[in-house]
Structure 1
Amino acid sequence: MDKTGFDRTQNRTIVIFIMCCLLTETVSQTDVCVRVPAKTSDCLQSSEYHPVPKDSVTQSCLQELLWDFTTNQNLTADEVDHFKRISRRYLDSPSSSPSGFRQRREYRQLNDLEREKLHRSFQILYDEGTIHRYGKLYGLAYTTVRKSPAFLGFQRVFLLAFEEELRRIDNTVSLPYWDFTIDTEMDNPVNSILWSRKYFGNGNGRVKTGDFRDWRTPKGYIQRRYGESNYGKLMSRDVVKTIVYKCKTKDVTYPVRSESEEIFVLEYHHNGILNWLGGSAADAKTAAYDPVFYMLSACTDFIWEIFRKIQLTECNINPSMDYPTNTKAHKQGAFDKMPGFSQFSNVHGYSNYWSTFWYNYTLAQGCPNCNSKYQWCSTKVDRCISHSRRTDYNVGRNVVSANEAFEPDTEYVPHRVEIPFMPSPLNDGRTMASAKLDARKAVTRRRSSNKQQRNLFVLSALGRSSLISDSLSAND
């Protein structure tokens, strides 16, 4: 494999001039030379036999090349050794985290200083190449653990190892979780305050706002496309309840006996959140290059931890001993080696010592306080809901101005998804395009509801007045 990522044994490659080199006989300082496969070369040369502009053919052939491009993300020998050392160190002393015990909190409940320190730690890991190392590992490991009981255990160890990297930079930082159930309760989660520069940054294409702007993956800049895929939606609290009150791990993991059982599978809904976020996050090869991935995965892990606690207290089942045996797939059994962390078996991810000695979760505060100026308590459903960032339409008291354009100017360059997150729930119809209309409908419903309440109050008051009048008349 050469530096371009093309395999010389499978693709005959030649050096060609892409722009003016192909269209003119002269070469200027702005011309670019690249190595392309024989397929692209043939595509370009075929223009000689068709009455179409050469620049149009060039653009078409290059677009096809980029769309079909497959990234080479194999771990280097040093990277393989790095993760092997991590797993050996963790296995030798499971009852003590290298950086100490920590509590994971909901992302919006961090104060400004805590959030700045977290973002700074992410940035340092990106600058030194650690984010890329973990991004590559996840892309490789996911093909082994997906659609199996190994998924949850691998994700737990993966997040713990990454959290240790964050705490290597700043030992006061812990990995927060993104409680997506707070956003799914909104009129449209696209409207959430999270997608402003203070938090995650924009979600309507290339990330150009916030602290993670202009980060790159092997396929270019980090991109998002929230709510646009036919597949994917955020998980609701009702869905969480259907999962955590199952007793057996085999009931909430793959494989399933029928598609109707997928509604109880945690990985299925996790896939849906990544597909809802879209862009880089919707491809396992690039998902772990976006910081949001780690925080939404932490929430999935939190839900699994709630399930495990209920398993122990209500079902009298030891979660660490409940690795399902109904999987026949290669490398997905309890005692098969965990991908990347080669000193571990898959069942090590199920151990109780992680949440006993390493970390725990702090439940996000509920109504009536919500403990965050970016959430409000809906008395109708008795739940905390994310504030809206919409400033282009009046959505009442539930607006927090982000002091920026609702959807900043950016671009979206679609890429072929190499490893999709499937199966996945379907989109629920609340898209980027419908976000404003959804907000408007919510306001209309709220105003209508408030008007009805006022009318009922007036009628009630008039009724009391009438009874008093009748009583006075009778006494006369």
Structure 2
Amino acid sequence: MKSNPSLLSATNAKLSEGPSIGQAGIGGPPPTDKLIGVDWQDHREPSSIVECQDFECLCNELQGIYRGANDCMLSNGQFLRKAIRKEYRTLTDDERTRFHNAINRLKMSKVYDHFHALHYHYSYNSGIHMGPVFAPWHREFIKRYEIALREIDPTIALPYWDTTMDQILPDPKDSIMWTADFMGSVDNNGYLNSGPFASWITLEVANKFVHTDSEIEEKKVPIKKLGNNRIRRNLGVPDGNRLIADLNITRILTNNNIYLIFGDEQFKILNGSCSSLNWLEGYDDTFWLDMTLESIHALVHQYVGGMDDNHELGDMAEFQTAVGDPVFFLLHGFIDFIFEMWRQTHQYTDQLYEYEPRPRCDVKNCGSKYLFCDNSKNQKHCGVKIKIVMTAEMNALNGLAKEVV
């Protein structure tokens, strides 16, 4: 059995990363993971710029001059612009080259491997997969990755991979996506042998997953090293074309089923087995798999990573190794785009409800007989009136008073 790969955040502000990788409190793997040595490997955290949550912060971190709105002049005289995320194949040759160069520089600096390790650790207890946190967590994750790239080259943005354009081909493996000018081609064993990332050696990780821990502890499943090799892809093996189609997107954008929105049905399906790709190993009902954002994304992970005749998985097919392949971020750019389309078409707050302002002292009694304006401090602030506690003595006196009356 293999671990489950189903891969199936302040103002002017920075969103801090919280505890360090592997530190208690973030669902990191136990100390036994050091048998593989993910934490011992040479990877470097990105600078604090990735924590930025607005354009002004980004401008200041890049030592630019912020002049309001999205107006920022960098020290070299160029203007910093809002990132425009284009479809990967629509980039000009120069834009694509600059994008590839920035990724390679991020890899050489070891910051890319930090993103890999971060996803590996946060994935360990399935906290960022198989449920409603999937979309927002990965939104912040790829935002940080994009900013790390823009720190290298402020002119670029993270493109997305619209898989529907490959899905309509008789055989998506024939797409220019898998050529030396784009994401590269592979040899007969599935290892990348051309393209901008052909020389990469991926981060070494373990096959550990929360559902395999007991089996590993009982030595039913050995701890296995993954990664530490060239990027590997088994495109479309063995399940063929499972790329996202227009129908999948339409279903998601029009979906109002609460179980599917929150990924509950998908969790029931995928979490019921310790098998890594249970539908590749005999799960036939793909109805639910085509209905949730996370599940259609997982099918693309399967397509790119795949499984060879020896049941060896490509990098994209397991959450532990997926980030080692830069295709990961192109796919998640598209998933985030679909998520944003869903969010924009479900703005029910405009019609169903709105919030009144918080109680304030410029309104008499803060707007309620149960509130008061506290003037005792430097800054006025509305407070709630206290309850009257009747002690036994007070009750007795109250009773006596009634008798006297």
The answer for unaligned runs of 5 or more in structure 1 is 1-8, 11-68, 319-476
1:214 maps to a residue whose letter is S
TM-superposed CA distance for 1:196, in Å, is: 0.8
Q: SS of the counterpart of 1:311?
A: coil
Q: 1:280 aligns with which of 315, 330, 334?
A: 315
Cross-structure match for 1:26: none
Cross-structure match for 1:105: 86
TM-superposed CA distance for 1:232, in Å, is: 7.3
**1:264 lines up with 2:247 in the alignment:** no
TM-superposed CA distance for 1:76, in Å, is: 8.4
Q: Are the structure 2 counterparts of residues 289 and 203 from structure 1 closer, same or farther at C-alpha, using a change threshold of 3 Å?
A: same
Q: Are the structure 2 counterparts of residues 78 and 108 from structure 1 closer, same or farther at C-alpha, using a change threshold of 3 Å?
A: closer
Cross-structure match for 2:150: 167
Q: Does the 8 Å CA contact 1:175/1:295 hold for their aligned counterparts?
A: yes
TM-superposed CA distance for 1:314, in Å, is: 10
Q: 2:346 aligns with which of 301, 307, 311?
A: 311
Q: SS of the counterpart of 1:275?
A: helix
Q: Are the structure 2 counterparts of residues 213 and 251 from structure 1 closer, same or farther at C-alpha, using a change threshold of 3 Å?
A: same
Q: SS of the counterpart of 1:307?
A: helix
2:177 maps to a residue whose letter is L
Q: Are the structure 2 counterparts of residues 191 and 76 from structure 1 closer, same or farther at C-alpha, using a change threshold of 3 Å?
A: closer
Q: Does the 8 Å CA contact 1:247/1:315 hold for their aligned counterparts?
A: no
1:136 maps to a residue whose letter is A
Distance in structure 2 (CA, Å) of the matches to 1:166 and 1:242 = 33
Query: Which string of whole-angstrom CA distances, capped at 9 and with x for unpartnered residues, describes residues 131-182 of structure 1?
Result: 1110111111123211011111110000000000110110001000011000
Q: Are the structure 2 counterparts of residues 314 and 245 from structure 1 closer, same or farther at C-alpha, using a change threshold of 3 Å?
A: farther
Distance in structure 2 (CA, Å) of the matches to 1:169 and 1:213 = 21
Cross-structure match for 2:281: none
Distance in structure 1 (CA, Å) of the matches to 2:41 and 2:196 = 29
Q: Does the 8 Å CA contact 1:207/1:222 hold for their aligned counterparts?
A: yes
Q: Are the structure 2 counterparts of residues 193 and 316 from structure 1 closer, same or farther at C-alpha, using a change threshold of 3 Å?
A: farther
Q: SS of the counterpart of 2:346?
A: helix
Q: SS of the counterpart of 1:222?
A: coil
1:365-380 correspondence runs (5 A): none
**1:253 lines up with 2:262 in the alignment:** yes
Q: Are the structure 2 counterparts of residues 178 and 249 from structure 1 closer, same or farther at C-alpha, using a change threshold of 3 Å?
A: farther
Distance in structure 2 (CA, Å) of the matches to 1:203 and 1:315 = 50
Cross-structure match for 1:225: 234
Distance in structure 2 (CA, Å) of the matches to 1:150 and 1:181 = 25
Q: SS of the counterpart of 1:152?
A: helix
Q: Does the 8 Å CA contact 1:253/1:267 hold for their aligned counterparts?
A: no
Query: Which string of whole-angstrom CA distances, capped at 9 and with x for unpartnered residues, describes residues 199-229 of structure 1?
Result: 1101451111011112111221111110014
Query: Which string of whole-angstrom CA distances, capped at 9 and with x for unpartnered residues, describes residues 226-278 of structure 1?
Result: 00144872110111100011247753332228655443211111111011101
Q: Are the structure 2 counterparts of residues 167 and 256 from structure 1 closer, same or farther at C-alpha, using a change threshold of 3 Å?
A: same
Cross-structure match for 1:150: 133
Q: 1:128 aligns with which of 98, 102, 109?
A: 109
Q: Are the structure 2 counterparts of residues 76 and 111 from structure 1 closer, same or farther at C-alpha, using a change threshold of 3 Å?
A: same
1:174 maps to a residue whose letter is A
1:271 maps to a residue whose letter is A
Q: SS of the counterpart of 1:216?
A: coil
Kindly tell me the number of residue pairs found equivalent between the two proteins: 249
Query: Which string of whole-angstrom CA distances, capped at 9 and with x for unpartnered residues, describes residues 296-319 of structure 1?
Result: 11001111111111112799579x
Query: Which string of whole-angstrom CA distances, capped at 9 and with x for unpartnered residues, describes residues 65-90 of structure 1?
Result: xxxx974324889967x58x567x43
1:281 maps to a residue whose letter is M
**1:119 lines up with 2:100 in the alignment:** yes
Q: SS of the counterpart of 1:123?
A: helix
Distance in structure 2 (CA, Å) of the matches to 1:127 and 1:156 = 24
Cross-structure match for 1:289: 324
Q: Does the 8 Å CA contact 1:183/1:189 hold for their aligned counterparts?
A: yes
Cross-structure match for 2:193: 208
Distance in structure 2 (CA, Å) of the matches to 1:228 and 1:301 = 26
Q: Does the 8 Å CA contact 1:232/1:271 hold for their aligned counterparts?
A: no
The answer for unaligned runs of 5 or more in structure 2 is 1-30, 60-79, 205-226, 270-286, 306-313, 354-405
Cross-structure match for 2:37: 72
Q: Does the 8 Å CA contact 2:88/2:160 hold for their aligned counterparts?
A: yes
Distance in structure 1 (CA, Å) of the matches to 2:340 and 2:40 = 30
Distance in structure 2 (CA, Å) of the matches to 1:299 and 1:250 = 22
Query: Which string of whole-angstrom CA distances, capped at 9 and with x for unpartnered residues, describes residues 313-363 of structure 1?
Result: 799579xxxxxxxxxxxxxxxxxxxxxxxxxxxxxxxxxxxxxxxxxxxxx
2:342 maps to a residue whose letter is F
TM-superposed CA distance for 1:188, in Å, is: 1.0
Distance in structure 2 (CA, Å) of the matches to 1:186 and 1:281 = 21
Q: 1:184 aligns with which of 140, 160, 167?
A: 167
1:158 maps to a residue whose letter is F
Distance in structure 2 (CA, Å) of the matches to 1:149 and 1:186 = 32
2:336 maps to a residue whose letter is D
Q: Are the structure 2 counterparts of residues 70 and 186 from structure 1 closer, same or farther at C-alpha, using a change threshold of 3 Å?
A: farther
TM-score normalised per structure 1: 0.47
Query: Which string of whole-angstrom CA distances, capped at 9 and with x for unpartnered residues, describes residues 367-415 of structure 1?
Result: xxxxxxxxxxxxxxxxxxxxxxxxxxxxxxxxxxxxxxxxxxxxxxxxx
- Give the RMSD, CA atoms, in angstroms: 3.2
Q: Does the 8 Å CA contact 1:178/1:299 hold for their aligned counterparts?
A: yes
Q: 2:337 aligns with which of 302, 308, 313?
A: 302
Distance in structure 1 (CA, Å) of the matches to 2:86 and 2:192 = 25
Name the % identity. 25
Distance in structure 2 (CA, Å) of the matches to 1:265 and 1:181 = 16
1:32-43 correspondence runs (5 A): none
2:146 maps to a residue whose letter is E
More helix by share: 1
